[in-house]
Amino acid sequence: MVQIPNTPPSASPAPRSVPTSADVARLAGVSRATVSYVLNNTSAVRISEPTRRRVHEAARELGYVPHAAARSLRAGHSRMVLMPAPAIPIGPLYGRFINELQWALGRLDYTVVQYGTVAVQGDEAARAWAELRPVAVIVPGAGLGPQGVTVLKRSGARAVVTLGPASVEGAHTLLMDQAAVGHAAAAHLHSRGRRRIGVVVPEEAGLETFSRPRLDGARDALRGTGAAITELPLAYTEEAAARLAARWGDLGLDAVFTYNDEYAMLLMSALQDTGVRIPEDTAVIGADDLMLGRLLRPRLSTVHIELPSGRDLAALVDRAVRNPGAAPETHRVLGASVVPREST
């Protein structure tokens, strides 16, 4: 029986295997060493112009692209800066920060790679990152312990920087104290004469890292003042907000800190629908100072958050890479200042 090939030779030209520098050398009629010299413009070695041309020509013809893994294997190091990709879509604030950071590190000739952390936990994740032998690792949030730092350093990471609520043994830390946000918000409400203060706590998973400290900060600000805090769990849906608004009278609150501006908008909308006057009946303050707060009516008071510039963090990383022996720095980098507008 005659077999008819299902892919005729003409249709799928036998997939030439990926060209290597040896292929380039062969085609140009030189050695692999010469190819390497030419393509890397090695200054310690002089190659004649005709040879250079032949090598470039051959590389172009074959579509040669060097193999990064082979190169860094040989070199013994890379300039890869690894960041775990955030597990949950984080706000525009953080997005901008990341972008600026990427740009700044790029300027310093590092390659930034965001690694898809697929639900791997702390020290488990650290191992996975270590396999890539990054020169530096930047870890947002909690979740990396001293163990993880050790693993990373042991496998050659010259800098480990965490961005989070607490400093980690052995790592540089950009201390982002979310409690300061809650503190500022609560203090502001108190200064406005409010005494029965609600604090919205999002029910969405993954937000506890932010919401818990913000709540604690608010508690802290009011300690000993006689003002009382009521925790208000709230899912990010209209229905949940309406339900909360429906029992607003029973709660007897004269102010609410809504975790952030988006929850503020959600709750304000529901409160206004049920006739609660803002700020007369209830003052509302959000956080993050997003554009939407300026667009709400009444205009939303909020806590403006000052993140470090991406350039600064890039500089810290670069310093740490150049001098891995230096003692870990801890910088308190989260500035929280109230922007009073019409809603309080």
Partner DNA sequence: TTGAAAGCGGTACCAT
Partner DNA sequence: ATGGTACCGCTTTCAA
Which residues of the shown chain bind its own copies in the complex (CB under 8 A)? Answer: 7, 11-12, 15-16, 18-19, 63, 65-70, 72-73, 85, 87-89, 92, 95-96, 99, 102-103, 105-107, 111-116, 118-119, 127, 130-133, 150-151, 154-156, 236, 238, 262, 265-266, 269, 272, 291-292, 294-297, 324-325
Distance of CA 201 to the CA centre of its chain: 22
DSSP string, 280-329: TT-EEE-SS--HHHHHSSSPPBEEEEEPPPHHHHHHHHHHHHH-TTSPPP
CB count within 10 Å of CB 293 equals 25
Which residue lies nearer to DNA by CB, 77 or 277?
77
Let me know the angle formed at the C-alpha of 280 by 275 and 286, rounded to the nearest 5 degrees. 90
Q: Which two tokens stand for residue 157?
A: 């990471």
| Residue 295: CB minimum distance to its own copies, A | 4
Run of H or E including 239: helix 238-246
Residues 25-84 that bind DNA (CB under 7 A): 29-37, 39-40, 42, 44-48, 50-51, 64-67, 70-71, 73-76
Q: Which two tokens stand for residue 227?
A: 């003002």
Which residue lies nearer to DNA by CB, 145 or 156?
156
Which residue lies nearer to its own copies by CB, 100 or 177?
100
| Residue 67: CB minimum distance to DNA, A | 3
| Residue 75: CB minimum distance to DNA, A | 6
Residue 106 contact partner, candidates DNA, its own copies, none, CB within 5 to 8 A by sort of partner = its own copies
| Residue 102: CB minimum distance to DNA, A | 24
Q: Does 105 bind DNA (CB under 7 A)?
A: no
| Residue 65: CB minimum distance to DNA, A | 7
Q: Using CB under 7 A, pick the residue from 21, 162, 173, 344 that binds DNA.
A: 21
Q: E strands of the chain, at which residues?
A: 80-84, 111-115, 136-140, 159-164, 172-175, 196-202, 228-234, 255-257, 283-285, 302-306, 330-332, 335-339
| Cβ-proximal residues to 221 (8 Å cutoff; 6+ apart), any chain | 182, 183, 184, 185, 186, 187, 190
Which residue lies nearer to its own copies by CB, 184 or 290?
290
Query: What are the CB-based long-range contacts (under 8 Å, 24+) for 117-122?
Result: 117/84, 117/85, 117/87, 119/87, 122/147, 122/148
| Residue 44: CB minimum distance to DNA, A | 6
| Residue 127: CB minimum distance to DNA, A | 12
Residues in contact with DNA by the rule CB under 7 A: 17-18, 20-22, 29-37, 39-40, 42, 44-48, 50-51, 64-67, 70-71, 73-76
